Structure 1
Amino acid sequence: MNPFKTFMGTLFSKSSNKMEKTSIYDIKINALNGKPLELSAFKDKYILFVNVASKCGFTPQYKGLQELYDTHKDKLVVIGVPCNQFGKQEPGNAQEIESFCEVNYGVTFQITEKIDVKGANQHPLYTWLTQKQLNGKSNSKVKWNFQKYLVNPEGEFIDYYFSITSPMSTKIAKYLK
């Protein structure tokens, strides 16, 4: 069963064949260990999705992501989403990614399975994050590793931030006060 086709099939209105706004909580994705990660478990918290890579110039942002999570974990969930589409900078398997994150940055926030964040095999999570007709707010393209997407506690898309935006930036932190 192809989860992308299943998800996309649920987005089309039978009468108009147009995609309609849908809930982020309905999207299926697995954690790094292969077990389902239920996004609905994070209702009532902000969620910051970040496509991550271990061999990128922005990789030190893992430290800032961990600091942001530690500072606001009562109201924020950080979800790292490994992706190998930008310069092949995330070549590792699940065990290598987990070990790298823990050993080098002490990461305790959630990490998902490795996915595609753009292109023909774009995961439904990133289809939702990047398409206004689904998220109800704006279109975007994932330009590089460590691009960030923020969703509010009601599951509504807030905004996205390019890789150069520090995890501790006031652009993000202002929502968590």
Structure 2
Amino acid sequence: MYLEIQNLVYQAETQYLHSQETAKLKDCTLSLKSRLEAYEILRDRAIIIFQEVADQISTDFPQEKQILERVLKDWLLIIRYSAMAILLKDATFLRHRLLEWLTDLVQVQQRQTIDRAISEVLQKQLEKMPNSEQLALISPFINQARNTLLLANKVDKQNIYPTMI
């Protein structure tokens, strides 16, 4: 969104915007209110959401305390970066800023079951958001993170470090 608005403003410096361009600008600004509301809800409720997720996951995986802490922190980052991606209206923000490096970390750990369980419990918690529009804004990012991490978990550890010839 930010880049879209910035580009449109730069265009407006040299010429009037055409109807399609003003419609795009209008869309960006009109959707900002709902995206900001979703961001604020995620910001304000992150601790409450994750306490419930942590309680459930700790019960499900009592023997995995050390890795659970790391994975929960990763998912908390995913929520934070997803909130920012919502605000920016940028589908690539989460991937470029977080998932690219997080995927590398995940590949050396065996945590597919835990990541899947956290994403499922987290989705249930997010379904308690005040309205479906906010859930619709966050869900694609949570799905993107879940799919990326679960795919990274499937990578064979032998393929992570190529052999030297």
Normalising by the smaller structure, the TM-score range is under 0.3
Give the TM-score of the pair, scaled to structure 1: 0.23
Structure of larger gyration radius: 2
More strand by share: 1
